[in-house]
Amino acid sequence: MSLLLKGGTVVTHEETYQADILCEDGVISQIGSNISTPADTKVLDVTGKLIMPGGIDPHTHMQLPFMGTVAKDDFASGTIAALAGGTTSIIDFVIPNPQQPLLEAYQQWREWSAKSYANYSFHVAITWWDDSVSQDMETLVKDHGVNSFKHFMAYKNAIMATDDILVASFSKCLELGAVPTVHAENGELVYHLQHKMIAEGITGPEGHPLSRPPLVEGEAANRAINIAGTLGAPIYLVHVSTAEAVDAIRYAKDHSQIVFGEVLAGHLTVDDSVYQNPDWETAAAHVMSPPFRPKYHQDALWKGLQAGTLQTTATDHCAFCSEQKAMGKDNFTQIPNGTAGVEERMMVLWEHGVNSGRISANEFVALTSTNTAKIFNIYPRKGCIRVGADADLVVWNPEASKTLSAATHQSNIEHSIFEGMTIHGLPETTICNGKLAWHQGELLAQSGEGKYIERPPYAGYYDTLQKRQELNTPKAVSR
């Protein structure tokens, strides 16, 4: 069945205009006024509503095995939450155990994700190194539509990538036209500070931010950027949470490096006072890495988005329930790291970005969808509204409002880091692959209807990168 959206205002990353949109066979087939209604077409009156590209969350962890447990939202509940919040695609992470073949882990995640309600794609983490890893990276890029690889600079004795791995993997990414991405925290410093806190008797959640101060992120961000810069590779920093990391990205961009920065809805709006909550369970519910920061960092993050230093917004949705968090009751280092947010990201950005006057509605579209599609090379299939693009759309009601709460969210966990936040302007209908997937509080999509998104390697800026590197390399002096 086709779908005709009538009477709405189309908002893209670059323009705003009145038009009807016809979706046929999963794609946008017509945009215009007074489109005639083909047979077997559902007509939705969206007068007074905004039609925007469906959100793309470039950072989620559904069903992640992590820190001795498995994240509570799987690819079913996690993608239902995404659709409820206007997000039609997620990019999740395949995280192989050290020594596990990358392709084996990738196949495992493909099996888990087959039940998705929304579209999905995968970054693949590089947690160890040998020739087989390099070979598997090549196979993933050439045969499986993976064009980004993740490096955890933290989580020592687990999945941490040391500098030798970063150098080998970033070089391979450059060769393949893939984007290296990093979780930038100095794992050695975290390890040292965690032991120091425990030795001093600080065992509660308040020890978490103390063991991961802003400089721990600033150091790793600078190191990753400088390694990439030396090799002539691009780099994407996930969950940038500090002024120090924003400064590092800005400096590198000013010096002609290709650097991308992602920020989480949580880091933009929640501060580190949450770790002082006398209720252990509530404080522990906020344990994620990097931690929530003193308020002044939020200002730097918003300015980073406004200036284009940061280009994408994500959630790092990695949901652990209270029982799982209690694994660290006597030692904060054992609290599974992660919080939810895939449902709330766009609403939080709308309220604190658009309604507060920090960003325009067009910038909102860029920051929640288009820029991610461009960076990870799925634009203009995703992230835009144009004839031929996938019909992944959100109908936004600027007049509706609600207060966010764990009592009403789709996630399987009992806490929300956005508890009590009132939002003015809500996603009312989510259209995924041309079908109504979520409509006025009701799930209409089916399990398995989400599609795997192949992302081809990037050719575009890699040519430029190589030329830039030549420009920046001192020439040998001929005597």
Chain residues binding ligand URP by CB under 6 A are 61, 183, 288-289, 316, 318, 337-338
Run of H or E residues at 122: strand 119-125
Tell me how far apart the alpha carbons of residues 84 and 71 are, in angstroms, rounded to a whole number.
19
Estimate to the nearest angstrom the gap between the alpha carbon of 294 and the chain centroid.
22
Tell me how far apart the alpha carbons of residues 167 and 37 are, in angstroms, rounded to a whole number.
56
Least distance to ligand URP, CB of residue 343, Å = 17
| Residue closest to 204 by CA, chosen among 321, 67, 331 | 331
Least distance to ligand URP, CB of residue 323, Å = 17
Least distance to Zn ion, CB of residue 316, Å = 4
Tell me how far apart the alpha carbons of residues 441 and 438 are, in angstroms, rounded to a whole number.
7
Tell me how far apart the alpha carbons of residues 427 and 425 are, in angstroms, rounded to a whole number.
7
| Owner of token pair 């949901």 | 319
Please give the residue ranges that form the binding site for Zn ion (CB under 5 A): 183, 316
Tell me how far apart the alpha carbons of residues 218 and 212 are, in angstroms, rounded to a whole number.
11
Nearer to ligand URP, 61 or 172 (CB): 61
Bond prior to 456 in cis (omega within 30° of 0): no
Residue 371's binding partner, choosing from ligand URP, Zn ion, none, with beta-carbon cut-off 5 to 8 A by kind? none
Residue 288's binding partner, choosing from Zn ion, ligand URP, none, with beta-carbon cut-off 5 to 8 A by kind? ligand URP
| Owner of token pair 């978490």 | 208
| Residue closest to 19 by CA, chosen among 358, 472, 397, 385 | 385
Nearer to ligand URP, 49 or 61 (CB): 61
Nearer to ligand URP, 61 or 345 (CB): 61
Least distance to ligand URP, CB of residue 337, Å = 3
Residue 213's binding partner, choosing from ligand URP, Zn ion, none, with beta-carbon cut-off 5 to 8 A by kind? none
256: amino acid identity, one letter: S
In our burial notation (b when 16+ CB lie closer than 10 A, e otherwise), range 145-158 reads bbbbbbbbbbbbee
Tell me how far apart the alpha carbons of residues 356 and 363 are, in angstroms, rounded to a whole number.
13
DSSP letter at 311 equals -
E strands present in 332-467: 393-403, 422-432, 435-439, 442-443
Least distance to Zn ion, CB of residue 95, Å = 9
Nearer to Zn ion, 241 or 433 (CB): 241
Nearer to ligand URP, 289 or 430 (CB): 289
Nearer to ligand URP, 320 or 458 (CB): 320
DSSP-derived pairing of the beta strands 16-24 and 2-11: antiparallel
Least distance to Zn ion, CB of residue 152, Å = 6
Least distance to ligand URP, CB of residue 145, Å = 22
Nearer to ligand URP, 29 or 289 (CB): 289
Residue 264's binding partner, choosing from ligand URP, Zn ion, none, with beta-carbon cut-off 5 to 8 A by kind? none
Contact in structure between 73 and 34 (CB atoms under 8 Å): no
Nearest residue to the partner ligand URP, using Cβ: 337
Residue 338's binding partner, choosing from Zn ion, ligand URP, none, with beta-carbon cut-off 5 to 8 A by kind? ligand URP
- Residue 226 burial class via C-beta count within 10 angstroms: exposed 0-12, middle 13-18, buried 19 and up: middle
Residue 337's binding partner, choosing from ligand URP, Zn ion, none, with beta-carbon cut-off 5 to 8 A by kind? ligand URP
Least distance to ligand URP, CB of residue 69, Å = 12
| Residue closest to 303 by CA, chosen among 237, 350, 245, 355 | 245
Least distance to Zn ion, CB of residue 357, Å = 30
DSSP-derived pairing of the beta strands 259-264 and 235-237: parallel
Nearer to ligand URP, 79 or 289 (CB): 289
Return the structure tokens found at 309.
């230093």
According to DSSP, the residues that pair with 236 across neighbouring strands are 181, 260
Nearest residue to the partner Zn ion, using Cβ: 183
Nearer to ligand URP, 290 or 457 (CB): 290
Least distance to ligand URP, CB of residue 339, Å = 7
Q: Kindly tell me the number of DSSP H helices and DSSP E strands found in the chain.
A: 16, 19
Tell me how far apart the alpha carbons of residues 15 and 125 are, in angstroms, rounded to a whole number.
36
116: amino acid identity, one letter: S
Nearer to ligand URP, 87 or 339 (CB): 339
Nearer to ligand URP, 90 or 288 (CB): 288
Least distance to ligand URP, CB of residue 58, Å = 12
Helix, strand or coil for residue 186? coil
Nearer to ligand URP, 204 or 341 (CB): 341
Least distance to ligand URP, CB of residue 205, Å = 13
Return the structure tokens found at 218.
């600033």
